[in-house]
Amino acid sequence: MTLLKPTAAQIDAVLTGGRPICAFLHDLDALNRHARGIAGSLPPRVELFYAVKANNDSRILGTLAPHVAGFEVASSGEILKVREAVGADARIIMGGPARTREDIELVLAQGVERLHVESLHALRLVNAVAMQAGAVLPILLRVNLAGPVPGATLTMGGAATQFGIAQPDIPEALKLLRDCPALRFEGFHFHTVSNNRDAAGHAALCAMELGLARSWATEHGLDLAVVNLGGGWGVDYGDPDWRFDVDGFARAFAPHVGEDIRLQFECGRILTAYHAAYVCEILDLKFVHGRTFALLRGGTHHFRLPSSWGHNHPFLILPRDAWPHPWPRPECRDINLTLAGELCTPKDVLACNVPVERARIGDLACFLMAGAYGWDISHHDFLCHPHPQHVYLGAYEHANPPVFSTGSTSFS
């Protein structure tokens, strides 16, 4: 698996405008190869959906479309984004903890394949809207396991969270479904943990969830057609060269796959994280009360992931020789450096006290693994700074819709 690591010369070759550099770079060729490889690792009758929340860029969606079974969305806006980027034939499934009447009406109007329902009230609301429309809507019941569950970066189930129907309440939900003629029960949805780096443990968790779904089907006389086992295949921002063992996960899980049920995963981060970089020019260097700061043309308003997760995001300092000013160029050497953005808040930090050999004003800070939960989760217009450029590298094109590259340089 490749990792986008551009050089300063490559960045200067594709970025224009004469302003201090601030950009997301996306390697579509590498993303194409990576998605094809992951999808090809899964056993038959196992479908891989892309979780649009990780990165909803239309060129990313178009690049992934040939390799995934469809797209998992969590909002009406994401439904429309997929339809615009990929087309009317794209398969869409929808989940999320808070649904409105308008959401459900759009689900019906846009031909969403299936809705994952997360509460008893939502069951009643979805049924009422579908009945009014004269439709029958396929659904899964999302389960919040009783726990405990294996550890991961984020836990959505097995604990007191806002997600899903608590496991002890599943019999009540199944009973309620008998009074919902506009809903067609097809199975269960489990999305219990996110960013699990233990492939064998995650396979065991998924096997346990699948076994639970089968036991419920037997106990309640259900026709179980689909089990969605969520995402959660991890990345390690502390070690950019580490990879989740997709092949090992698939081998461990394969014995639990049968001919009776269609199995689905909905992954985001593992597909898109590695093939984008966020690049910021160093505008200033400051030594304040015992700490050295590099101030960037950019920050958490573009790339909120490090702040939201509280980690030092992996980066490279890319040297650039040009210096346009008549005064000496400030620099620091063999120092613990904090990379801070341009916002008027001390929370605007992307990496804190990280050893660097050398950094100068005008050099570039290149944040790796920036393709998931970066731009999409950020508060873009706080202080109204300019947005970053978005540059798409490589020659890969997908016929529906076209994916155009703004640069011909391959960084793979």
Measured between its terminal Cα atoms, the distance across the chain in Å is 10
| Rg, Å, the chain Cα set | 23
Cα separation of 276 and 273, whole Å? 7
Segment holding 209, helix H or strand E: helix 199-220
Closest by alpha carbon to 350, among 385, 305, 317, 384? 305
| Orientation of helix 101-109 relative to helix 76-86, angle to 10° | 20
Burial of 21 (0-12, 13-18, 19+ CB in 10 A): buried
* Residue 231 Cα to chain centre, angstroms: 10
CB 182 within 8 A of CB 130: yes
Is residue 344 annotated as a catalytic residue, yes or no?
yes
Cα separation of 72 and 87, whole Å? 15
Burial of 140 (0-12, 13-18, 19+ CB in 10 A): buried
The full DSSP string for 351-403 is EEEEEEEEEETT-EEEESS-SSSSGGGS-TTGGGPPPPEEEEESS---SSS--
Cα separation of 154 and 308, whole Å? 12
Q: Which of 267, 344, 352, 384 is flagged as catalytic?
A: 344
> From start to end of 66-181, where are the E strands?
70-73, 92-94, 114-117, 137-144, 154-155, 165-166
Collapsing DSSP to helix, strand or coil, 113 comes out as: coil
CB 123 within 8 A of CB 170: no
CB 97 within 8 A of CB 76: no
Cα separation of 248 and 85, whole Å? 33
Catalytic residue annotation = 344
